[in-house]
Amino acid sequence: MKNSIYSTAAGMLTSLARLDISTNNLVNIGTTGYKSDISFEQTLRNLSGGPFPGKDQPVLGGNVIDMKNGIIQTTGRDLDMAFEGPGFFTVQGPGGQELYTRNGEFDLNSKKELVNAEGYYILDKFDKKITVLGEKFQFAPSGELFIDGAYFTTLKIVDIPNRDHLEKIGGTFFKLKDYAPQPQPIETPQIAVGALEKSNADLLLEAANLTGAQRTFDAQKATADVILNSLRKVITEIPRPI
């Protein structure tokens, strides 16, 4: 019975983690460039050296990032860009850390530097921040920037084919894990200028996942209550020595 308690408790923790993931995906339905998380469960068999040999303990094995493209929505804004294929924009995050994002909603700060909503600098292919000076500017679908009709620079656009090398930072940013190789530059990206990539989280799917996880948790809690009540009954009804 003791092992049943641990198995049920592990299942409850797994369901809570699933609830957290689905809730976060739902919260970010309207976040530009957001990539949803997918939870997966694994059964970890404790070996003879473990605390419960021979028992299967359900645990959350982690989560993976769903990198499928979101719907592209036209905005007509010159500083909005969306990938129609693979690729990441490169930004300079806190402390100079290089981060990657699919969120192409950019703007100019008071110094005419190209930044995102968080104020992070957008980097060009020379790893430099971009200062947009001049009367007119225009981005090409290749990521090239033209100012007053003349070529100025090109955005640093990379691909990271192995998504296991990515670690999510915040809502729409990614960084490379320590062991990951450097990202590969994309020479001919497919960018829609004047458009944004919406979140790829599916409202109906996440709502169903949330409901399923909640029901599973409730059932597991009910099982745990039965086990605990049975234990209490056994303990209180054990004859005491006279």
189 and 96 within one domain: yes
148 and 98 within one domain: yes
For residue 122, being part of any structural domain is answered with: yes
Pairwise CA distance, residues 66 & 36, whole Å: 5
92 and 130 within one domain: yes
For residue 241, being part of any structural domain is answered with: no
Buried b (16+ CB within 10 A) or exposed e, 76-111: eeebbbbbeebbbbbbbbeeeebbbbbbbbbeeeee
Pairwise CA distance, residues 236 & 202, whole Å: 50
125 and 147 within one domain: yes
190 and 95 within one domain: yes
Query: In the chain, what percentage of residues exceed pLDDT 70?
Result: 83
Average pLDDT by consecutive 10-residue portion of the chain (242 residues)?
66 79 90 87 44 49 82 96 95 94 96 96 97 93 96 96 87 91 91 96 87 81 74 68 59
102: left (phi over 0), alpha (psi -120 to 50) or beta: alpha
Q: What is the pLDDT of residue 33?
A: 93
For residue 75, being part of any structural domain is answered with: no
For residue 217, being part of any structural domain is answered with: yes
For residue 73, being part of any structural domain is answered with: no
CB 185 within 8 A of CB 157: yes
Range of the domain at 9: 2-68+201-236
Domain count, the chain: 2
Indicate the pTM of the whole model. 0.77
